[in-house]
Amino acid sequence: MRATTRRPYSRAELERLIAPKSIALVGASPRAGSFGMRTLENLAQYRGEIFAVNAKYDRIGERPCYPSLKALPRAPDCAVLVVPRDGVEAALEEAAACGAGSAIVYASGYGEMDHAGRAAAQARLAKIARAAGMPMLGPNCMGLVNNALRAGITFIPEYALTPHRSGPIAIVSQSGALGYSLAQAVERSVGIRYCFSAGNSADVDVADLVAAVAEDPEVRAIACLFEGVPSAARLLEAGEVARRADKPVVVFKLGISEGGAAAARSHTGSLAGSAAAWHALFERAGFIRVDDYEALVEYARLFSFAGPPAAPGVAVISGSGGAGVMAADKAARYAVPMPQPLEATGKALRAVVPEFGAARNPCDPTGQVLSNPESFGQCCDAMLGDPQYGALVLAMTVATKEVAALRTRQIGELARKQDKPIAVVWVSEWLQGPGTEAYESDERLVLFRSMDRCFAALAAWHARAAAVPAAPVTRLSSAQAAEATRSILAAAGGKLTEAGSKRVLAAYGIGVAPERAAASAEAAVAAARDTGFPVVLKIDSPQIPHKTEAGGVRLGLADEGAVRAAYGEIVAAARRYAPSAEIRGVLVQPMAPRGVEIIVGARVDPEVGPMVVVGSGGVLAELLADSAAALAPVSFAQARALLLRLRGMKLLEGYRGTPAADIDAVCEAIVRISEFAADFADLVAEIDVNPLLACPDGAVALDALIVMRDR
């Protein structure tokens, strides 16, 4: 993890970058198609002051051109560096010296290249910007658009030709091409206030931008997409800013696929791949995750105007029976309830729906009533008036232009008349068909181009309303736990055995199976006598972490003879397995009580940081990836929520005669393990408690392994 402790920029600190009153274009050029000329063209309708800067020209078109930033009459809010890479550092120094309020660097060829020199050059740019208190966007970025100011501070083609339609949505993208492709939704009349491309994010990153626009009162929803961030922690802080401002953030993460991480599924460290880590981060940040690019604007539209649902039910009206069935299928898929109308509602529907239509939910008033504006409105009114429904979905199929226009006007009026959101699903391949622009320009409506995404979004809308804000975590483990652990880790010298790992768990207050070390067969027999038969013998060697593979475990040894024989066999097997290993002897444990095996692990994700992972143990662990992850540390309630996600949870609740396990004790162990992971994120790579035995009266770690980081 590239740890960066810097907090996100505040809205005020970024004001001169995202809403500049004056812009200097360093490297302005009269050459058609040049980045400088394109940026100038994209600023054609900008209402602030523009300074062209280039020593080669006196004027560019009608505009005077200054020889340098120093020569400007006053410091610009934003200095846009359109100079080639070799000139960037000097230009940035000059911008800092002249007191520019912010900088944008287009040039590529920095940190995105696998080249130490270029990374160092990028770091120098960041240092100049930070030292001057001059927030910098880029390098390798495509600038930003502020439609409220009609400012296209970007070289993207043809911004000048598009309608500069502002609105409640902010797009915060790392990729310029993907961000601006989203922003093209303005061509379909979607109002978009900002679009940013953070590029290499050497200074200002998507976390800063999300936090800044969350504090903009005109912004109502944020669509965010990125590939990587310098600091995942800052995303959490940005999430906190957005939560306080009640601004929904819809996020799409690129680069989420895992190459072969599924291989060692029973090994906790890999139970959670990088996708799981990011999903856990977004959950903690309160972000609404989508897995498809196309969903970003649609979700942002819904969340930009829809308050918390008045009721969980969704009503569907469609001019096609088939589209209604599609809606019901998708509602079932996303567990969105579609209750039948109340008696009074049904009566109102029956009054206008023909006998071969459907006066139910989904309601099919048939083509006849859809051509008849009055009765269509009556259907909508009846459904919206039913207290069971929190939202109305209208599935629009092919229609004449007149009918479509009529319907569109009606639906717009309905949307303004009441508080329940209306989603229009455009069930047509004619994507730009009649009415779509009107729907998209109406800020009280959301248009979906997919029934699936409509119901997925409604489910996410319900989930956001139901989500309890994360409680501040109260620590369960003692203040001394970390200190005691530090000594154990120091003594172990970078490599912990099972016994050492268990001592750490014990320091954190986690129940561990009692065990005694024995360096000879006779010592093992004596330990077994003290422990009480039957016992388990396990090899004790720092070089043999996976004991079963080495033939180093024997279960259910019932008497002294069995223990004596097993000692010799285990040691011999371990020697064959790892001839150069230091064999200290064996560990003697009592046989475990009856219980349900679960796996609790933690790992420090290189990008996201410490996280805890809970999974089903035993057979289930090998047959299915039954696991759930959260950022560490977790609260007791969060630990319980993780357990509830497991399919294996049924086993813990008592199953086929097995008594119910002590779920509170399991939760407590999860919390304590997560606290250890968070405390030692800098030293520990992963911890694997496999199994944690969940018994009717407590939970005990039967085996544990802590792997330290390579330093």
Residues 159-178 that bind a copy of itself (CB under 8 A): 173-178
Kindly tell me which of 61 and 157 has the beta carbon lying closer to a copy of itself.
Answer: 157
DSSP letter (8 states) at residue 160: G
When asked if residue 319 is in the footprint of a copy of itself (CB under 8 A), the reply is yes
Window contacting a copy of itself (CB under 8 A); options: 39-47, 306-314, 619-627, 688-696: 619-627
Window contacting a copy of itself (CB under 8 A); options: 87-95, 448-456, 533-541, 689-697: 448-456
DSSP letter (8 states) at residue 8: P
Interactions with a copy of itself, residue window 555-584 (CB under 8 A): none
Residues binding a copy of itself: number (CB under 8 A): 80
Give how far Cα 72 sits from Cα of 39, 52, 95, 633, Å.
19, 9, 11, 52
When asked if residue 451 is in the footprint of a copy of itself (CB under 8 A), the reply is yes
Give how far Cα 578 sits from Cα of 207, 545, 550, 582, Å.
49, 11, 8, 9
When asked if residue 182 is in the footprint of a copy of itself (CB under 8 A), the reply is yes
Give how far Cα 248 sits from Cα of 167, 381, 461, Å.
15, 28, 10
SS3 592: coil
Binding marks (x or -) toward a copy of itself, 417..436, rule CB under 8 A?
----------xxxxxxx---
Kindly tell me which of 536 and 678 has the beta carbon lying closer to a copy of itself.
Answer: 536
CB of 518 to a copy of itself, least distance (A): 26
Q: Which of 212, 225, 574, 687 binds a copy of itself (CB under 8 A)?
A: 225
User: Which residues face 512 on adjacent strands?
Assistant: 701
Query: What does residue 613 show for φ and ψ, rounded to 5 degrees?
Result: -130, 130
Q: Are 198 and 173 contacting, i.e. CB atoms less than 8 angstroms apart?
A: yes
When asked if residue 109 is in the footprint of a copy of itself (CB under 8 A), the reply is yes
CB of 485 to a copy of itself, least distance (A): 33
Q: Which of 355, 594, 710, 711 binds a copy of itself (CB under 8 A)?
A: 355
Measured distance CA(320)–CA(326) in Å, rounded: 10
CB of 401 to a copy of itself, least distance (A): 7
When asked if residue 333 is in the footprint of a copy of itself (CB under 8 A), the reply is yes
Q: Which of 558, 624, 644, 660 binds a copy of itself (CB under 8 A)?
A: 624
Window contacting a copy of itself (CB under 8 A); options: 55-63, 391-399, 416-424, 487-495: 391-399
CB of 113 to a copy of itself, least distance (A): 6
505-509: list long-range contacts, CB under 8 Å, 24+ apart: 505/672, 505/673, 505/676, 505/689, 505/701, 505/704, 507/480, 507/481, 508/477, 508/481, 508/672, 508/673, 508/675, 508/676, 509/476, 509/477, 509/478, 509/481, 509/672
Measured distance CA(508)–CA(505) in Å, rounded: 5
When asked if residue 682 is in the footprint of a copy of itself (CB under 8 A), the reply is no
Q: Where are the alpha helices (DSSP H) in 45-113?
A: 85-98
Strands 59-60, 136-137: pairing is unpaired
When asked if residue 653 is in the footprint of a copy of itself (CB under 8 A), the reply is no
Could you tell me the two tokens for 69? 């930033």
Interactions with a copy of itself, residue window 492-531 (CB under 8 A): none
Kindly tell me which of 140 and 497 has the beta carbon lying closer to a copy of itself.
Answer: 140
Q: Are 646 and 694 contacting, i.e. CB atoms less than 8 angstroms apart?
A: no
Measured distance CA(219)–CA(542) in Å, rounded: 57
Could you tell me the two tokens for 103? 């900088």
Q: Which of 88, 588, 651, 700 binds a copy of itself (CB under 8 A)?
A: 651
When asked if residue 620 is in the footprint of a copy of itself (CB under 8 A), the reply is yes
When asked if residue 258 is in the footprint of a copy of itself (CB under 8 A), the reply is yes
Kindly tell me which of 266 and 478 has the beta carbon lying closer to a copy of itself.
Answer: 266
DSSP run (H or E) holding 658 = none
Kindly tell me which of 643 and 671 has the beta carbon lying closer to a copy of itself.
Answer: 643
Kindly tell me which of 309 and 324 has the beta carbon lying closer to a copy of itself.
Answer: 324
CB of 465 to a copy of itself, least distance (A): 24
Window contacting a copy of itself (CB under 8 A); options: 331-339, 568-576, 630-638, 681-689: 331-339
Q: Which of 41, 49, 437, 452 binds a copy of itself (CB under 8 A)?
A: 452
